């Protein structure tokens, strides 16, 4: 069974850095694109970007390029979403999700449980 | 970037009724790479439809997708109590974007 387990909720101050994680199991981690989706409070879903853990090929939404960093450590089957300097507007639930194949033009088939990030002074 | 506009924003229906949700793209969606998701509060989104009309694994056949080019539709033939949720379309042919969502609520 494919499982994506995300790290726990975070409360941070503006300007702080943060790295949240998503551990995959039940499949060959290196062979499937995995990505991140944001949901701000009371808002809809936003596609942020994806990474292919096999070679770290990464694609970002123009809206998130330069604002976050997506990475993966294939040795521990874990993907990451990272901020160097958080803003209050980064407050949101962040979902990781996996493509159903190694093809980059795919929907998200399997999802993590979400990580709530709260940024407040 | 392709903009997806869903309509209506909210659909108020009773169990057993038919739901028809629309998703319109600002330009043609490559190879009909259009998906639909169901999202309930406190849960992860669930993939319903991909390739505009292909049901994902274990999705009941009361859910169906249709359309091509710039106009797509998700139909739920007979609403069950568990179908009341927010539904999103997503295109994954050119960059990737989501629509703003349609909330299906109990009338």
Please tell me the predicted confidence (pLDDT) of residue A33: 97
Would you call B83 helix, strand, or coil by DSSP?
A: helix
DSSP 3-state percent helix, strand, coil across chain B (nearest 5): 5, 50, 45
pLDDT digits (tens, 9 = 90+) for B90-100: 999 988 999 99
How close A85 gets to chain B, by Cα (Å)? 25
How far apart are alpha carbons A37 and B71 in whole angstroms? 24
B1-18 per-position pLDDT tens digit: 999 999 999 999 999 999
Q: Which residues of A touch B (CB under 8 A)?
A: 37, 44-47, 61-62, 95, 97, 105-109, 111-114
By C-alpha distance, which of A27, A1, A22 is closest to A78?
A22
CB B73 within 8 A of CB B83: no
Does the distance separating the beta carbons of A44 and B98 come in below 8 Å?
A: yes
Q: How many CB pairs under 8 A join A and B?
A: 55
- The pLDDT tens digits for A91-114 are 999 999 999 988 889 999 999 999
Q: A90: closest CA among A52, A38, A51?
A: A38
Chain A residues whose CB is inside 8 A of the B47 CB are 107-109
Q: Is B93 in CB contact (< 8 Å) with chain A?
A: yes
């Amino acid at each position: 069974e494919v499982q994506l387990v995300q790290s726990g909720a975070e409360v941070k101050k503006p300007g702080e850095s943060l790295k949240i994680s998503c551990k995959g199991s039940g499949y060959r981690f290196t062979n499937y694109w995995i990505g991140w989706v944001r949901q701000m409070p009371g808002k809809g879903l936003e596609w942020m970007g994806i990474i292919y853990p096999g070679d770290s090929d990464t694609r970002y939404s123009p809206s998130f390029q330069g604002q976050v960093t997506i990475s993966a450590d294939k040795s521990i089957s874990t993907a990451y979403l990272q901020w160097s300097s958080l803003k209050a507007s980064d407050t949101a639930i962040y979902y990781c999700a996996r493509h159903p194949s190694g093809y980059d033009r795919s929907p998200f088939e399997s999802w993590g449980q979400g990580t709530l990030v709260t940024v407040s002074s | 970037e392709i903009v997806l506009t869903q309509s209506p924003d909210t659909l108020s229906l009773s169990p057993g009724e038919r739901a028809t949700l629309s998703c319109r793209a600002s330009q043609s969606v490559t190879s009909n790479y259009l998906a639909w998701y169901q999202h309930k509060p406190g849960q992860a989104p669930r993939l319903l439809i991909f390739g505009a009309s292909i049901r994902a694994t274990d999705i009941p056949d009361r859910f169906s997708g249709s359309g091509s080019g710039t106009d797509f539709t998700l139909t739920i033939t007979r609403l069950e109590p568990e179908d009341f949720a927010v539904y999103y379309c997503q295109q994954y042919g050119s960059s990737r974007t989501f629509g703003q969502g349609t909330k299906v609520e109990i009338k």
